[in-house]
Amino acid sequence: GSGTNVILATRQLTKKFGGLTAVDDVDFEVNRGEIRCLIGPNGAGKSTLLNLITGKLSPSEGDIYFDGNDLTGLDPHERIDTGLSVKFQSPHVYENLSVKRNLQVPLQRTDRNVDRVMAETLEQIALTEQADTPAGDLSHGQQQRLEIGMAITLDPELMLLDEPVAGMSVDETADVADLITSLHDDGMAFLVVEHDMEFVREISEQVTVLNQGAVFRQGPIEEIETDEAVRRIYLGE
Ligand code: ADP
Ligand code: MG
């Protein structure tokens, strides 16, 4: 680590698609070990911001620093090797492979002890009993947990999650909240894009609101939830 409290920082980050500025001069920071939720109306630029951080998209202007190092020139795989991990909205599991074999895929990239990390991860994502089950036979919630498991085998310092509880039942959502909270207790930081405000309230202290590509508000969830201007942008007024 660089010794500062900041794990991720964007500086004057901008992404233009033709005439449209999807991310507009954003200075944004996530602290070490925190759970930060990113909210905002449709089209606010949340996914674009995440895609710039992972390297799926290149910025039009500005820089991204992770653990004090400029990520801007690195491709997505190189970014993962620095301790940045990501789980996208829809499950990207290998349906024909068992839960165990799925976890082995990312583990091949590391020099971590496969047996130990495997057992530990199965326990964390509560899929020990399903270790030999083909991923395609799991429920939606179990598949989402498996994909989070694939990301945590790499022991990332920061995990990016785009709508991790979309389409989940109340029980499945509670399981994911527990998983994130316990990983956070072990020191992992999270940046979570999420619409489900109850879930946001459950996991996050500080919330950042994006609107029209820019940071609109940032603060404790209780303040954000009761902010009249935030309510208005959601209603599109
Ligand atoms: P959010 O995730 O907050 O709903 P997005 O980041 O997906 O918002 O989109 C922000 C804006 O950028 C929207 O106006 C969207 O239509 C536009 N946009 C996103 N991706 C592209 C793209 N690949 N090409 C052109 N416009 C895009
Ligand atoms: Mg989006």
Structural domain boundaries enclosing 198: 6-235
CA–centroid distance, 22 to ligand 2, in Å, is 11
Q: Which two tokens stand for residue 119?
A: 């057992």
Atom of ligand 1 at shortest distance to CA of 57? 23
Q: Supply the pLDDT for residue 236.
A: 65
Identify the residue whose C-alpha is closest to ligand 1 atom 25: 17
Band (89; pLDDT cuts 50, 70, 90): low
Asked whether residue 89 is assigned to any structural domain, the reply reads yes
Task: Look up tokens 């905002």; give the residue.
Answer: 40
Q: Which long-range contacts (CB under 8 A, 24 or more apart) does 200-205 make?
A: 200/37, 200/39, 201/225, 202/177, 203/35, 203/37, 203/177, 204/35, 204/36, 204/37, 205/34, 205/35
Atom of ligand 1 nearest to the CA of 48: 6
Nearest C-alpha neighbor of 230 from the set 27, 37, 49: 37
* pLDDT score recorded for residue 2: 53
> Is position 116 within any domain?
yes
In a domain, 162, yes or no: yes
Distance of CA 110 from the midpoint of ligand 1 (Å): 34
Residue 181 is part of a domain; what is its CATH number?
Answer: 3.40.50.300
For residues 209-236, give the mean pLDDT.
92
pLDDT tens-place string over residues 91-126: 689 999 999 999 999 888 788 899 999 999 999 999
CA distance 29 to 65: 9
Residue 81 pLDDT grade (very low, low, confident, very high; cuts 50, 70, 90): confident
Is 167 a member of any domain?
yes
CA of 50 to the centre of ligand 2 (A): 9
Distance of CA 224 from the midpoint of ligand 1 (Å): 23
Distances in whole angstroms, Cα of residue 124 to Cα of each of 4, 187, 193: 29, 14, 22
Average of per-residue pLDDT values in the chain: 92
Query: Which pLDDT score is estimated for 14?
Result: 98
Q: How far is the CA of 123 from the centre of ligand 2 (A)?
A: 30
Is residue 19 in contact with ligand 1, taking CB distance under 6 Å?
A: no
Q: 1 lies in a domain?
A: no
- Is the CB of 145 within 6 Å of ligand 1? no
SS3 172: helix
Beta-carbon contacts of 108 under 8 Å, excluding residues fewer than 6 positions away, are none
Task: Tell me: pLDDT of 90 over 70.
Answer: no
pLDDT digits (tens, 9 = 90+) for 6-23: 999 999 999 999 999 999
Residue 220: strand pairing partners? 206
Given this model, what pLDDT does residue 86 score?
Answer: 76
Task: Read off the pLDDT of residues 150-206 as tens digits, 9 standing for 90 and up.
Answer: 989 988 999 999 888 988 899 999 999 999 999 999 999 999 998 888 899 999 989
Cα–Cα distance between 237 and 232 in angstroms, integer? 6
Ligand nearest to the CA of 38: 1
Q: Which atom of ligand 1 is nearest to the CA of 210?
A: 3
Whether the predicted interface score ipTM is above 0.95: yes
Q: Is 41 in the pocket of ligand 1 (CB under 6 A)?
A: no
Angle at 216 between CA 212 and CA 219, to 5 degrees: 150
- Total number of domains in the chain: 1
Query: Whose Cα sits closest to atom 26 in ligand 1?
Result: 17
Is the pLDDT at 44 greater than 80, yes or no? yes
Query: pLDDT value at position 85?
Result: 82
Contacts of 186 by beta carbon, 8 Å cutoff, 6+ apart: none
Q: How far is CA 182 from CA 57, 124, 179, 189, 226, in A?
A: 31, 8, 5, 11, 28
Instruction: Tell me the pLDDT tens digit for each residue of 127-158.
Output: 999 999 999 999 989 999 999 999 899 889 99
What are the angstrom distances between the C-alpha of 52 and each of 35, 100, 153, 212? 19, 31, 23, 16
Kindly state whether residue 84 falls inside one of the protein's structural domains.
Answer: yes
Structural domain includes residue 17: yes
